[in-house]
Chain A
């Protein structure tokens, strides 16, 4: 493997994905054969056995909703029993079931797929687009995730990379990637707020930028808040209007609901450019007499704004929190950078301007900025191995862990070991004691989150340390060390301070594939057909 092999940056989004690469110090967003730069993160399982990904798959959402998987990112690395997955089971037109290791799996055309497998199909698509463009194989990538993705979600995303035969050289936080894209090569000295409002999540990150050093001061987010919530609000409104007018409840009709959702998204986007949108959907339902009923509907931008302003204002509660953690107030922020499709809405820009007391920057493309940042980070990691005459990318990112990490203690409490927003890599140790007479084993349950109550946090896994000396309660001291590496991934060590006996574990995270499962899937992948819409005659970049 040559050192100059290109390492690509991939924004693996909830709704769309983008791939970029740095060539000669300049970032290129890679188009597919049809010139498209933004690719739907949708996978459709066709009746002929082909697996479609991207735009072609998205078109099948309407005609084949049961076999077309979208928003897989909302499920990745989550346990089947989590609230998010339960909501998805109720909402999604495709089938979600419980698989091994408490993970959700999707079923299409009689076959089951894990979520990392579905995401791997999207990643494979992005990889193929890059390979066509670059005219050479690509084996490594920086892949972005929302800043507040937990350990399991990051692990699952890495697993998806492996299944796509991509070595994920770094899992990068999306807002941080956006900051890199914004500040790269500008030599700025500024405080930045990255306001990232995507399809499924909201993240806010506050950074200090000093020339080529990007120090993340704080990050906060809401994984249950996104542009999709705006679409659903609009769908609800249409459903209610239809119910009043025709006495037909569309909510029991999965196909009709999917059509409404698609229309709602279009209406939302149209109203970013125009002040009024008119919709006509033919034969959305049938009346009691069997006659087809059309839905006609019009809405103004102001009308939409009124219905959704509360959703947008929820983002500022998160902004308050991030600023508090960074030790700044809104007025001290020099530049506000908008990321994610939802920030294209004029109302979002207005509310952001009001909150920060200045207009957000609109000179960057919110759809592409994250992939651009991923490509910059990829180039920065390779700066010590570039070929002669090539321009090194010298940015340095000092990122943080978004959530506190701790362990369960007596009585159902959680004790923090690493505070949230600690700079990574980091290693921290705290001392604990046994809780019973002659206790020779401790089970250490690891969780992520800030709550004092264990069960309000996300359980990540557990490890046990046995062979402790049989002593009265409280007399055996155990040092518990957490370490977070540069990918934001955790490892845990426990050590009996008296005997030096130690137990370390890469904890088996719940809600994603086990190592064994990944290996099995990698074998099976070889004979799977993934139809990529990359044109064989696509123009490719000239390479020396």
Chain B
């Protein structure tokens, strides 16, 4: 890797959290879309991981990868007019990285994908039976759950696991 690239890389890496996307790409905030694309291509030519596929220095590799991911992120946001406008507003409020939305979703307990309430209960029964080592009972509960709600991925998966565990044949 040549010296000039190393200097650029160090400079970006050390300030990464403080730089806005325009600075990451090395352009002024008022440039047009084509200039954004050209700047990104220039950065990609230098820093894309594929350009350094055989680099043996793992620290340097890691650094390059982290910086390039941010370069790509900058292009992803600035490359589309709509997200660029949103980002410009966020930037005016002092935010350096784009935040898609503040929507908070909730990682579910997996059984909530089972829509039939009785099937869900049976699925939970099966899990309880498994904990006590009752594979036969678990299988029975799962079969009933399947009858109530066929093609539910979770039930199918649990069934496959129980079959394997208990050495049952389908």
The answer to whether A387 has its CB under 8 Å from any CB of chain B is: no
Chain B stretch 131-160: residues in CB contact (< 8 A) with chain A: 151-153, 156-157, 160
Q: Are A445 and B106 in contact (CB under 8 A)?
A: no
Which residues from chain B contact A434 at a C-beta distance below 8 Å? Answer: 106-107
The answer to whether B105 has its CB under 8 Å from any CB of chain A is: yes
The answer to whether A478 has its CB under 8 Å from any CB of chain B is: yes
Chain A stretch 171-187: residues in CB contact (< 8 A) with chain B: none
A459 and B160 CA atoms in complex are apart in Å by 15
Q: Given the known A-B contacts A396-B44, A412-B115, are A486 and B49 also in contact in the complex, defined by CB atoms under 8 Å?
A: yes
Q: Are B156 and A432 in contact (CB under 8 A)?
A: no
Which residues from chain A contact B65 at a C-beta distance below 8 Å? Answer: 425
A3 and B56 CA atoms in complex are apart in Å by 12
Q: Are A410 and B156 in contact (CB under 8 A)?
A: no
**Interchain nearest-CB distance for A198 vs B (Å):** 26
Which residues from chain A contact B93 at a C-beta distance below 8 Å? Answer: none
Among A81, A408, A426, A443, point to the contact of B69 (Cβ < 8 A).
A426
The answer to whether A98 has its CB under 8 Å from any CB of chain B is: yes
Q: Are B109 and A436 in contact (CB under 8 A)?
A: yes
What does the 1/0 interface line of A467-502 toward B look like (CB < 8 Å)? 000000010011010000010000000000000000
A129 and B45 CA atoms in complex are apart in Å by 34
Chain B stretch 28-42: residues in CB contact (< 8 A) with chain A: 41
The answer to whether A122 has its CB under 8 Å from any CB of chain B is: no
Q: Given the known A-B contacts A213-B45, A396-B48, A411-B112, are A422 and B156 also in contact in the complex, defined by CB atoms under 8 Å?
A: no
Q: Are B69 and A427 in contact (CB under 8 A)?
A: yes
Q: Are A213 and B108 in contact (CB under 8 A)?
A: no
Among A100, A408, A428, point to the contact of B107 (Cβ < 8 A).
A408
User: In the complex, which residue of chain B has the Cβ closest to the Cβ of A411?
Assistant: B112
Query: Number of A interface residues, CB 8 Å?
Result: 54
Which residues from chain A contact B108 at a C-beta distance below 8 Å? Answer: 408-412, 435, 443, 445
- Majority SS of interface residues in chain B? helix
Among A384, A431, A442, point to the contact of B54 (Cβ < 8 A).
A384
Which residues from chain A contact B104 at a C-beta distance below 8 Å? Answer: 431-433, 474, 477
Q: Are B53 and A98 in contact (CB under 8 A)?
A: no
Among B45, B55, B151, B157, point to the contact of A510 (Cβ < 8 A).
B157
Q: Which of B100, B105, B152, B153 has the most CB of A within 10 A?
A: B105
Q: Are B45 and A396 in contact (CB under 8 A)?
A: yes
User: In the complex, which residue of chain B has the Cβ closest to the Cβ of A436?
Assistant: B109
Q: Which of A382, A385, A409 has the most CB of B within 10 A?
A: A409
Among B52, B76, B109, B113, point to the contact of A426 (Cβ < 8 A).
B76
A516 and B75 CA atoms in complex are apart in Å by 40
User: In the complex, which residue of chain A has the Cβ closest to the Cβ of B49?
Assistant: A486
A462-B110, A486-B49 given; name 11 further pairs at CB < 8 Å: A98-B170, A210-B41, A213-B45, A215-B41, A407-B107, A409-B106, A409-B107, A428-B100, A432-B104, A443-B110, A445-B113
Interface residue ranges, A against B (CB under 8 Å): 3, 81, 98, 100, 102, 169, 210, 213, 215, 380-385, 396-398, 407-413, 415, 422-428, 430-436, 442-445, 454-455, 459, 462, 474, 477-478, 480, 486, 510
